[in-house]
């Protein structure tokens, strides 16, 4: 039987005749962006917790000198331990900074068009002015404002997840270097 002779299922017929509820779609998209922002913030907070634990454990490192790194008389293991300790500190510093930047709220009101759904623009108006502006705005302009806010939030989500990724990678490098310091320190007794 040819493919074009297949009768569509009732579900397909129903979907084809359904109308889109743009208000619901825009609301779902906006909620998804908000949830993604919270998700990235939560990941960054968890990374900060692990950073703090690792930071507490490096107090045993003998940071009194990096001389073994440059000394002709130092063993290769001593040099390696100092180098790995420096990698741990740098990895932790990068992880801490990028995780903090992830959760640090930023406020960049550098746009010229007022968006009725951006909290910074809302607070620049009085309550009466905001209500009046909102009520006088045509429906298509409201949809455009919602879409502009969703678009802006997607940039925030993208930045946050890139920072979480960098923070986590730096933390993993620090943890691996820390483990090697522990192993080499045990070897040298």
Six token digits for residue 125: 């108006």
Closest CA to 95 of 58, 48, 161, 55: 48
Please name which of 88, 75, 114 lies closest in space to residue 175, comparing C-alpha atoms: 88
Instruction: Compute the distance between CA of residue 126 and CA of residue 122 in angstroms, rounded to an integer.
Output: 8
> Does the pLDDT value for residue 1 go beyond 60?
no
Tokens of 189: 């007794």
Of 17 and 162, the structure prediction assigns the larger pLDDT to: 162
Q: What H or E segment, with its residue span, contains residue 27?
A: helix 22-57
Domain ranges for the chain, please list them: 34-58+65-104+118-188
pLDDT for res 60: 72
pLDDT band at 63 (very low <50, low <70, confident <90, very high): low
The owner of tokens 């005749």 is 17
Residue 61 has pLDDT above 80, yes or no: no
Of residues 34 and 78, more confidently modeled = 34
Residue 145 clears pLDDT 90, i.e. is over it: no
- Separation of alpha carbons 82 and 21, rounded Å: 62
Q: Among 39-53, 62-76, 114-128, 132-146, which range has the highest average pLDDT?
A: 39-53
Mean predicted confidence (pLDDT) in 131-149: 86
Q: What is the DSSP string of 121-170?
A: HHHTS-HHHHHHHHHHS-HHHHHHHHHHHHHHHHHHHHHHHHHHHHHHHH
Place of tokens 């979907």: 15
């Amino acid at each position: 039987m040819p493919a074009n002779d297949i009768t569509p299922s009732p579900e397909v017929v129903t979907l084809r005749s359904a109308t889109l509820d743009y208000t619901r779609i825009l609301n779902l998209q906006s909620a998804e962006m908000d949830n993604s922002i919270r998700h990235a913030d939560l990941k960054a907070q968890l990374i900060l917790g692990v950073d703090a634990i690792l930071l507490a454990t490096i107090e045993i490192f003998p940071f009194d000198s990096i001389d073994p790194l440059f000394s002709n008389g130092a063993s290769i293991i001593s040099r390696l331990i100092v180098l790995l300790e420096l990698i741990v500190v740098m990895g932790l510093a990068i992880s801490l900074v990028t995780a903090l930047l992830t959760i640090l709220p930023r406020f960049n009101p550098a746009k010229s068009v007022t968006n009725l759904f951006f909290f910074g623009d809302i607070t620049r108006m009085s309550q009466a002015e905001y209500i009046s502006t909102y009520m006088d705005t045509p429906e298509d302009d409201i949809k455009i404002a919602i879409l502009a806010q969703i678009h802006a939030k997607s940039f925030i989500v993208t930045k946050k997840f890139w920072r979480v990724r960098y923070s986590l990678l730096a933390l993993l490098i620090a943890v691996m270097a820390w483990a090697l310091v522990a192993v080499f320190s045990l070897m040298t007794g």
